[in-house]
Structure 1
């Protein structure tokens, strides 16, 4: 198959993640897709991030996958330009808006990030990773480096965008393209129930739960995530 026939796949990172979040997918899917990683560092709202992706995405239809915050942006893109998306993957994310408690916690993190950003990132780590992956020094270092490289200003901007996101539950039934919903079985930030809720509302959606995995599935269990994404992409490769 010629490269030009491969589907375009745009991957959307999570909070203070850069393209390294998706490094295993960029390499692992290269033979079946033209893969790019979107930049979510400039928008002040989820809607602005979605507009940035639509403006920079390949011309024509493309497949879209988002993890965590990237999933919020993917759902916004589905509302704004459903005709552009031929397949959707939602990883370790939620269609619900923040609860009041979650919003208060974000505001506390924003306030602390102004003066001690490194402590904020360190405190977030055990919420993102399965306990056994907390013992992987290279993985913890990578996640820390992504966050520190982007810095506290982007962290604060993204946290405010996440806190202000709208409820995506009412629009889930409008999604008609092949949809994969995937989560780490031990995801503490967006538990399994939130993913089951999305699957129930999206016609034909499939659910993949990955064992021994927390919130950052693309890095924690890359082989299993790649296998799921390959099966998902196979639905649009002719």
Structure 2
């Protein structure tokens, strides 16, 4: 048999396995989705304190586009004066966008005033940032993207990095690849609901073995014209897991849940599938000695299924200047579910990481806010 015929048969066989997996396992995913939906409904409360919140607030902030070294345009927003003594740069998580830090932007803008500039950006393939080749969906590439944003948006002065979930892995990757930035430029870091190594041992790791996702990976990389066919199947498998892990068992605002689900739903299937492998295999343990040089904050919900608290506890042991905050009853999106706890912890981090003048001012601002409240 000729090599051409062998190649054709191989491709046909691979496509047949892909179609069979997508058809058969979408039903399994549907059942999982139904079960998760029922449990989520029980957790959502009719008493919604955030019913009138404008979760698109960041879209009104000063914006620009930063182009990565491989030509991907990243959407960037900033709040606060450009000449502020400190910049706090936020990197969001998987299947989210910069709006995932909505509560931090709202509260900390008021608290820090003109003393801190906050910079937010959408990771490649997420939100308003541009798409990118599937092979670039890696954690090391995200660390390089962060360096580009840092170089353009904060070329001078001290910086505190804040990363949630995959954004925390982005910070870790940056620390490993650019150790000379610590502590000369990067003076503090927060790792929220994150992990230093791959998440194969979490429930998401089990889902990653699903043939539906393998089929979707194949489609994204080798058959992009068929990607739309895999969206429903892949989303049915991974969506319920992300939604179930987002929040703990406490009552959750319907508006917050709707906002986070919209971010997940709006994420392109190529991005969702492309980064799954990266989350599974990443290993940034070499970043820990660099981060050990600066004050760090580690936050995790005790009901986080994607990055269980054991991941955060292990990082805290390795980072002597860290503060570990385990939030009771919270899931993976702890900064949306329990924002006050996360905000207060970020204020403490800035106090530890910045010069005494800013520290004292920040403390006075916090005391004033509490007194007025």
The normalised TM-score by structure 2 is: 0.58
Match of 1:38? 121
Match of 1:93? 194
Identify which of 99, 103, 106 aligns with 2:208: 106
Distance 1:226 1:38 in 2: 19
Distance 1:18 1:26 in 2: 13
The normalised TM-score by structure 1 is: 0.88
Maintained 8 Å contact 2:169/2:195: yes
Structure showing greater relative contact order (alpha-carbon pairs closer than 8 Å, 6 or more residues apart): 1
Match of 2:173? 76
Match of 2:84? 5
Maintained 8 Å contact 1:173/1:203: no
Match of 1:169? 285
Maintained 8 Å contact 2:199/2:306: no
Distance 1:98 1:185 in 2: 16
Decide which moves more: 10-19 or 119-128.
Answer: 119-128
Give SS of 1:154's match.
helix
Q: CA RMSD in A?
A: 2.3
Q: Provide, for residues 124-158 of structure 1, a one-character-per-residue CA deviation record: whole Å limited to 9, x for no partner.
A: 2112211234x532222111110122221211122
Maintained 8 Å contact 1:78/1:85: no
Q: How many residues align?
A: 235
**After the TM superposition, which residues 153-232 of structure 1 pair with which residues of structure 2 at under 5 Å, given as runs?**
153-166=270-283, 168-175=284-291, 176-232=293-349
Distance 1:98 1:214, change over 3 A: closer
Give SS of 1:131's match.
coil
Give SS of 1:5's match.
coil
Decide which moves more: 89-98 or 115-124.
Answer: 115-124
Distance 2:215 2:97 in 1: 22
Structure 1 residue 165: Cα displacement: 1.2
Structure 1 residue 169: Cα displacement: 2.8
Maintained 8 Å contact 1:179/1:204: yes
Distance 1:160 1:22 in 2: 25
Higher Rg of the two aligned structures: 2
Give SS of 2:250's match.
helix
Give SS of 2:303's match.
coil
Distance 2:147 2:139 in 1: 12
Maintained 8 Å contact 1:26/1:36: no
Maintained 8 Å contact 2:84/2:117: no
Distance 1:163 1:207 in 2: 24
Give SS of 2:304's match.
coil
Decide which moves more: 79-88 or 45-54.
Answer: 79-88
Structure 2: tracts of 5 or more residues without a match: 1-79, 126-135, 217-229, 358-373
Q: Provide, for residues 70-96 of structure 1, a one-character-per-residue CA deviation record: whole Å limited to 9, x for no partner.
A: 111110011122314211101111112
